[in-house]
Amino acid sequence: MTLTAQPGAADPAAALRRRPGLRRLRALGGQGPLFTTALLVLAALVLVAVLAPLLAPYDPEALDLTASLVGTGGDHLLGTDQSGRDILSRLLYGARTGLLGPLLVVAVSTALGTGLGVLAGWRGGWADAVLSRSMDLVFAVPGLLLAIMLVAVVGSGMTAPVVAMAVAYTPYVGRLVRGIARQEKARPYIESYRVQGWSGWTICLRHLLPNIAPTVLAQSAMNFGYALMDLAALSFLGFGVQPPTADWGAMINEGQSAIQQGAMLPALAPSFCIVLAVVAFGIVGEGLADRIAKRER
């Protein structure tokens, strides 16, 4: 007996063979107190970034040389830096640049990497070979070096580092998606849809992509933390966001001289924020990956 159903027709057997796809995301909670705490930290960081103009007690770029390196308490809860700028206000505004840059990096690299990975894994043959070798070439150039080279061409700021890091992170996503796509392509539910006459693009868009989305989400969470750290390092080196704009990496650079004068908070406060954000994203990413791996067994 042969299957003659038209594309889009219901097939109970095929439905049984389908993987749960995006429905897996509904059960990604319940990872324990550490995972929950990390999620709350990330939610707080996003909220702070959005509400920074309302929460900041001072203009983050306002200079007051008469209040240079004022200690904690009084009018300045975290003190001031060498230029008399309120550290708390700069931390709150720094969350904006600290999170926006990695968000752009992850969004671009995930979109490009997912598209290239699905194309390589689904088509195979020469397309897989060309795309895989191209990603290997990008792997050969360190992301930070690529960013510095691009900054030398177009100038410092957020644009060049974000573009460079997005290119550098694309192969990480592409390789992951390629491997998953190859595995999914060999599963029975894919063949059942092919027998029904579904085109490759339809199967990829309606079934393959939703099935790999949870894993890509977990990888994106970890990539966010790595990108945040890389962009902060570039700002620290003077290749990223430029003063007087509030940015955590640039604040660490500016606070180095204050350490010699016995003031630790101008450098330690933004360092703590970076570590807290990176660790939180890492915990969330690992938690998602572990839960997905358990559900696959």
pLDDT digits (tens, 9 = 90+) for 116-132: 998 888 887 888 888 88
- Residue 297: pLDDT band (50, 70, 90) is low
Taking residue 257's Cβ as centre, other Cβ atoms within 10 Å add up to: 13
pTM of the model: 0.84
Phi, psi of 77 (to 5 degrees): -60, -35
Strand partners, 80: 86
Is residue 225 predicted with pLDDT exceeding 90?
Answer: yes
Q: Are 215 and 176 in contact (CB under 8 A)?
A: yes
By percentage, how much of the chain surpasses pLDDT 70?
Answer: 89
- Residue 31: pLDDT band (50, 70, 90) is low
What distance in Å separates the CA atoms of residue 150 and residue 143, rounded to the nearest whole number? 11
Q: Are 49 and 99 in contact (CB under 8 A)?
A: yes
By percentage, how much of the chain surpasses pLDDT 90?
Answer: 39
DSSP 6: P
What distance in Å separates the CA atoms of residue 187 and residue 193, rounded to the nearest whole number? 11
Is residue 28 predicted with pLDDT exceeding 70?
Answer: no
pLDDT digits (tens, 9 = 90+) for 227-271: 999 999 999 998 988 888 899 999 999 998 888 888 889 999 999
In sequence order, the 6+-apart residues with CB closer than 8 A to the CB of 170 are 108, 109, 112, 113, 116, 135, 138
Q: Are 190 and 207 in contact (CB under 8 A)?
A: yes
Q: Are 196 and 7 in contact (CB under 8 A)?
A: yes
Q: Are 28 and 57 in contact (CB under 8 A)?
A: no
Of 117 and 139, the structure prediction assigns the larger pLDDT to 117
- Residue 21: pLDDT band (50, 70, 90) is low
Is residue 283 predicted with pLDDT exceeding 80?
Answer: yes
